[in-house]
A and B are shown apart, each in its own frame.
Chain A
Amino acid sequence: MRTPLLIACWLAVAVLGTFLRFDDLSGRPFHADEATGARITAHRMASTGYVFDPVHYHGPSLSAIGGVGARLQGIRTWSGLEKSTLRALPAIAGSLLVLVPLLGRRRFGDAAMLIAATALSTSPLLVYYSRMYIHEILLALFGALALFQLASAKRWWPAGIWIGMMFATKETFAISMLAWTAAGAVLYGLGLIRRQVPAPQELWKHHGRQAGLAVGLALLTSLAFYTNGFTHWQGAVDSVRTYFVYEPVEGHDKPWHYYLQLLLAPRELAAAWWFETTVALPALAALTGSLCARSMSPATRAAIQFLALAALLHLLIYSVIAYKTPWLMVLPWVHVCLLAGFVVTIPLPHRFAKVGVAAALVACFASQFLQSRRATGRFASDERNPYAYVPTSEDIESLPAWFSSLDEALPERSVEPIGVVGDDYWPLPWYLRHYDQVGYWTSPPESLERLPLVLATADLTTVLASTHIPVPRGLRTDSPLIVWVRTDFWDASLAAPADE
């Protein structure tokens, strides 16, 4: 391929990926997990300093890097944070992820890496979670960087840095380590049987030093984050303790085939079709090609088979674990997207076949693009969007403005303190962050009826029916919220003239 055309193609893929990740980034309501992530980030930015809770927190890299991003924009407080500020981090990470295949150009060829980048760029799963302030896309970026570094035959030890970053991002990095190690071991074992790889002693002689260096770098990198720059050594202990004490919230158990259905089974939801089968098919073709085609280079063949096996092992491990959420598939799906790129390395008999493959790929990416736009547009926070897991209701976005209008309706009184009563109230704290006095209780405290506003995820009829008006509002899909408005504020609000 000619250089100017090549550059244009890479630029186009980068622009496409960036557009899908940044367009209307603030539009979707804040997810409960984004809100907790934002709260942790704000805690770190505040004078209260660094805390790593091994029972409830994922790795510290998100809040560390997110906090730096906020400070660069001059934001230092919880109330000063904005969705766009925080979501810029995953959007940047997701955009960089698209460009990671650039690192494999020399080894695997431009065509394969361009196709892989396009698959990464347009995947609705990856696009959706590149617009969400949670850990997954950072984990995927560091994972992809580690994969390409490991694929570099000579100097692969810097992969330790990326693996350390994975550890600092989320404890589930251990699953990837397990899948990668097992995939590597299986392929190495097969190579030994076929006498295609050096013996273990020989391997250790050539790579032992690099392996030690990589492990050291991984530990050092992760320690730097967990100990907050080597100042909070309890973080190092807790980074291991978290594997034994982490408390996943109940209610997320799903059948073993959940991920297969999510990604591979086409479904019609809200009069639209959702599927990523079109990427799985070229990935499967690439694997088949690596098993059948004789003219394929050994490096390409090894990469394809490693990616396929690693993806399969990720899928198996995550499927065996009862706790399932769609974002856990982000890193495994990166493997599939990379694998799909290798479809162009299969030797094809004649020109028509090549044109056919090219046309199929164009159709595949067009379909992915449209699904991504739909998933992040009209259905961004709709339960029928397969990627919108426990989505926050759009309704919540207008809550602060309504509270302001209630406040203005009765100028001589304040709507504070605001009470929140019940469980599972996130992301409410995000939407109430501009109020100084907000109390959170699991059951109604004494004198609750004197609060001007009480937001309840529990039935407070017996407590508040005589003093407040119940107004149903949306919190999350299928989880409404009752805002109890004290009658003086309610009456004043109705009597106040409507805004012009």
Chain B
Amino acid sequence: MKSTNILGLIGLTLALASCGGEKDGDTASSSSAPGGTAGGVPLTPELPPELIEGTPKPMKVPNLIPAPKAAPEFLVPEGTELLSAGKTVTSSDDYPIIGDVSLITDGDKEAGEGYYVELLDGLQWVQIDLGAPAEVNALWLWHFHSQKRAYHDVIIQISDDPEFKEGVTTIYNNDYDDSAGMGKGTDHPYVETRFGKVVDGKGTKGQYVRLYSQGNTSNDMNHYIEVEVYGIPAAE
């Protein structure tokens, strides 16, 4: 039932060997693109069709990309400390569906009920007030890791302006299609794990850290379990 369609395979091989996905009339090539016959004509191969089957299994899938086996190692300047523990958190959603934004800086990183906050669908943000300006060297982030899901448009900014209108530095942006409307980012999207995501703070100075997201691969909601901001308090 699920065996590969031989005709389709032959067709695909023909297609790939000939045009490499070039549009009609295209003769350009580049080192990153597969080759093709310059001036050739496009083939229209027969590809294996989809197979009609029953309701898909309601179960977790295996890893689609290799999952990390350990927390990433990240080096920071000496004197760097955890600045965000217990600090005030605000968000774009005044009434979270589940939990409370204070969970984001409470130190608990489990994924179960009572450990995460769920914000509304669409582009949402949470903001941590570090209490005083600091030099941010790293940020460690856990959205929701009991499922293999990736959060969209993860954008992390630092500023001294609580409104984030002036002096804003973006330290991470994986919005590859600008769906958040804040500019495209070149950071790669990632699948959540219990090891979280560590982001280089690059010594950026600021008192406020704002994290955006816009739904995830399972649903439209936005979740946060914990955010840890590491840095060195600015000199008085």
Chain A interfacial positions (CB closer than 8 Å to B): 32-33, 36, 39-40, 53, 56-57, 247-252, 270-271, 325, 378, 381-383, 389-390, 393-395, 398, 402, 405, 411-417, 419-420, 423-426, 428-429, 436-443, 445-447, 449-452, 456-459, 461, 469-482, 486-488, 490-491, 493-494, 498-499
- Bound: A249/B189 CA distance, A: 32
**Contacting pair A480 B149 (CB below 8 A):** yes
**Contacting pair B217 A450 (CB below 8 A):** no
Give the A-B contact count at a CB cut-off of 8 A. 222
Contact of B33 among A425, A461, A488 (CB under 8 A): A488
Residues of chain A lying within 8 A (CB to CB) of residue B148: 478, 480
Q: Does B62 count as interface, using CB distance less than 8 angstroms?
A: yes
Residues of chain B lying within 8 A (CB to CB) of residue A424: 53, 56-57, 61
**Contacting pair B64 A472 (CB below 8 A):** yes
**Contacting pair B61 A478 (CB below 8 A):** yes
Provided the pairs A416-B21, A457-B61 are in contact, do residues A383 and B52 lie with their beta carbons within 8 angstroms? no
CB distance from A475 to the nearest CB of B (A): 8
CB distance from A154 to the nearest CB of B (A): 42
* 10 intermolecular pairs with C-beta atoms under 8 Å apart: A248-B54, A252-B58, A394-B215, A405-B177, A414-B23, A441-B9, A450-B21, A457-B64, A459-B66, A472-B191
Provided the pairs A389-B55, A394-B220, A437-B45 are in contact, do residues A450 and B62 lie with their beta carbons within 8 angstroms? no
Chain A residue, CB-CB nearest to B218: A477
Chain B interfacial positions (CB closer than 8 Å to A): 2-4, 8-9, 11-13, 15-17, 20-23, 26, 28, 30, 32-34, 44-45, 47-66, 97-98, 118, 121, 147-150, 152, 176-179, 181, 183-184, 186, 188-191, 215-221
CB distance from A468 to the nearest CB of B (A): 10
- Bound: A405/B176 CA distance, A: 11
Contact of A389 among B58, B152, B191 (CB under 8 A): B58
Q: Among B15, B22, B55, which residue has the most Cβ atoms of chain A within 10 A?
A: B55
Chain A residue, CB-CB nearest to B19: A414
Chain A residue, CB-CB nearest to B186: A494
CB distance from A134 to the nearest CB of B (A): 9
**Contacting pair A488 B32 (CB below 8 A):** yes
**Contacting pair A442 B21 (CB below 8 A):** no
Chain A residue, CB-CB nearest to B26: A412
Chain A residue, CB-CB nearest to B147: A478
- Bound: A440/B4 CA distance, A: 8
CB distance from A45 to the nearest CB of B (A): 15
**Contacting pair B121 A393 (CB below 8 A):** no
Chain B residue, CB-CB nearest to A485: B176
- Bound: A53/B53 CA distance, A: 11
**Contacting pair A480 B61 (CB below 8 A):** yes
Provided the pairs A439-B47, A450-B21, A459-B65 are in contact, do residues A250 and B215 lie with their beta carbons within 8 angstroms? no
**Contacting pair B59 A251 (CB below 8 A):** yes
**Contacting pair A325 B55 (CB below 8 A):** yes
Chain B residue, CB-CB nearest to A31: B55
Residues of chain A lying within 8 A (CB to CB) of residue B186: 494
Chain A residue, CB-CB nearest to B20: A450
CB distance from B106 to the nearest CB of A (A): 19
**Contacting pair B178 A499 (CB below 8 A):** yes
CB distance from B14 to the nearest CB of A (A): 10
**Contacting pair A398 B179 (CB below 8 A):** yes
Residues of chain A lying within 8 A (CB to CB) of residue B150: 472-473, 480
Contact of B9 among A438, A446, A459, A494 (CB under 8 A): A446
- Bound: A260/B144 CA distance, A: 31
**Contacting pair B23 A32 (CB below 8 A):** no
Provided the pairs A414-B21, A414-B22 are in contact, do residues A469 and B188 lie with their beta carbons within 8 angstroms? yes
Residues of chain A lying within 8 A (CB to CB) of residue B220: 394-395
Chain B residue, CB-CB nearest to A428: B50
- Bound: A405/B118 CA distance, A: 30
**Contacting pair A439 B8 (CB below 8 A):** yes
- Bound: A61/B62 CA distance, A: 37
Q: Known pairs A36-B53, A53-B52. 10 more at Cβ < 8 A?
A: A382-B219, A417-B12, A426-B50, A450-B20, A459-B62, A459-B63, A476-B56, A480-B191, A486-B21, A498-B181
Q: Among A251, A440, A476, which residue has the most Cβ atoms of chain B within 10 A?
A: A440
**Contacting pair A447 B21 (CB below 8 A):** no
Residues of chain B lying within 8 A (CB to CB) of residue A398: 179
Provided the pairs A417-B45, A439-B12 are in contact, do residues A249 and B55 lie with their beta carbons within 8 angstroms? yes
Q: Among A381, A450, A474, A477, which residue has the most Cβ atoms of chain B within 10 A?
A: A450
Residues of chain A lying within 8 A (CB to CB) of residue B22: 412-414
- Bound: A326/B90 CA distance, A: 39
Contact of B50 among A390, A425, A472 (CB under 8 A): A425
**Contacting pair A488 B16 (CB below 8 A):** no
- Bound: A469/B150 CA distance, A: 15
Chain B residue, CB-CB nearest to A51: B52
CB distance from A473 to the nearest CB of B (A): 6
Residues of chain B lying within 8 A (CB to CB) of residue A378: 121
**Contacting pair A56 B32 (CB below 8 A):** no
Residues of chain B lying within 8 A (CB to CB) of residue A420: 50
Contact of B16 among A53, A389, A451, A474 (CB under 8 A): A451
**Contacting pair A395 B2 (CB below 8 A):** no
- Bound: A472/B22 CA distance, A: 25
**Contacting pair A413 B149 (CB below 8 A):** no
CB distance from A20 to the nearest CB of B (A): 21
Residues of chain A lying within 8 A (CB to CB) of residue B217: 393, 395, 472-475, 480-481
**Contacting pair A493 B177 (CB below 8 A):** yes
**Contacting pair B65 A470 (CB below 8 A):** yes
CB distance from B219 to the nearest CB of A (A): 5
**Contacting pair B98 A271 (CB below 8 A):** yes
Q: Among A429, A445, A461, A490, which residue has the most Cβ atoms of chain B within 10 A?
A: A445
**Contacting pair A450 B59 (CB below 8 A):** no
**Contacting pair A33 B55 (CB below 8 A):** yes
**Contacting pair A440 B50 (CB below 8 A):** yes
Residues of chain B lying within 8 A (CB to CB) of residue A469: 188
CB distance from A267 to the nearest CB of B (A): 13
